[in-house]
Amino acid sequence: MNGELFETNSERIVCAGMSRRLFLRTTLAGGASLLAGRAATLFAAVSASDNTTFSIGGDLPVNRLGFGAMRLTGEGIWGWPPDRENARKVLNRAVELGANLIDTADAYGPETDELLIAEALYPYPKGLVVATKGGQIRPGPGQWVPKGDPEYLKQCVDKSLKRLKLDRIDLYQLHRVDPKVAMEDSLGALKEMQSAGKIRYIGLSEVSPEEVERARKTVPIVTVQNRYNITDRKWENTLAYCEKERIGFMPWAPVGGSRGMTNVTLEKAAKDHGVTIYQLGLAWLLHRSPVMLPIPGTSSLAHLEENMAARKIQLSADEWRAIDALAGRA
């Protein structure tokens, strides 16, 4: 990665003249150094041996740090973005920076997010996976209502195919399990669309291990998309299940979403490493599990560059253990 420049809010770090085996590194004495201010930022060149990719379904390889397109819509995830040209630039730059997993949903906009992705990226680069979701309706800005009726879901798939200009959706996720509809009925409809060649793989969102196990009796499940980040680990049990079964885990709100991430000790650790708390949080997710597929979203080119630079952060096992312990402190 010769001469590749990554910028943070606090400093510029240039990785120059790196070989595949050599990277800039400063070793910390231990967890105490994080608080003593002696830690250093470690931006490393990605090597062939790094665990940077994951194969969805066993045969659909993606780079583990993807891009979530939800924030490219209007306020309240409603309507077109105020700067449509900027949104197209963000999508193209995400792909240029190596994000070949783009996450969206028919409810984002609604519809406008899928249309924008096709507008910006079609014809799609080889290897780009556009994952979308269906199963929620939008009465208005900021409002989300599950709708898992089989016929409705089949219509959703057909409409997403048309908006995205695809013959087949590589990954289609049930956006929410509708408490008014049996999961087997909702997934049965998606299975029909899969059998018809309109869907390659099926995933779930915001589910427990028991729900994933139940769903797999109807159709193979290759991904789970639950809220998860370094300061919010409610779905730790689902992640453990996904690790065991080699199911991709796509954490939404990987850097806190609209709530952000507020943690005084983590802020200090990030500052000591010369990165933002959000970069540290993304790097932690990638370190946390080989099945983790973070999809941070933004409408800012600068924030996109920051997010993608998190792939290059390399810390020792002791440093990660120290940071993991700090995450539990207010």
Active site residues: 108
Pairing type for strands 53-56 and 12-15 reads unpaired
Look at strands 136-137 and 53-56 and give their pairing. unpaired
In 80-94, which positions are buried (b, 16+ CB within 10 angstroms) versus exposed (e)?
A: ebeeeeebbebbeeb
- How many Å apart are CA 7 and CA 282, to the nearest integer? 15
What length does the chain have? Answer: 330
**Taking a C-beta distance cutoff of 8 angstroms, is the pair 123, 95 a contact?**
no
Paired with 101 in beta bridges are 129
Return all residues near 126 (Cβ < 8 A) that are at least 6 apart: none
Question: CA 20, 101, 140, 181 torsion: positive or negative?
Answer: negative
The closest of 97, 100, 94 to 72, measured between CA atoms, is 94
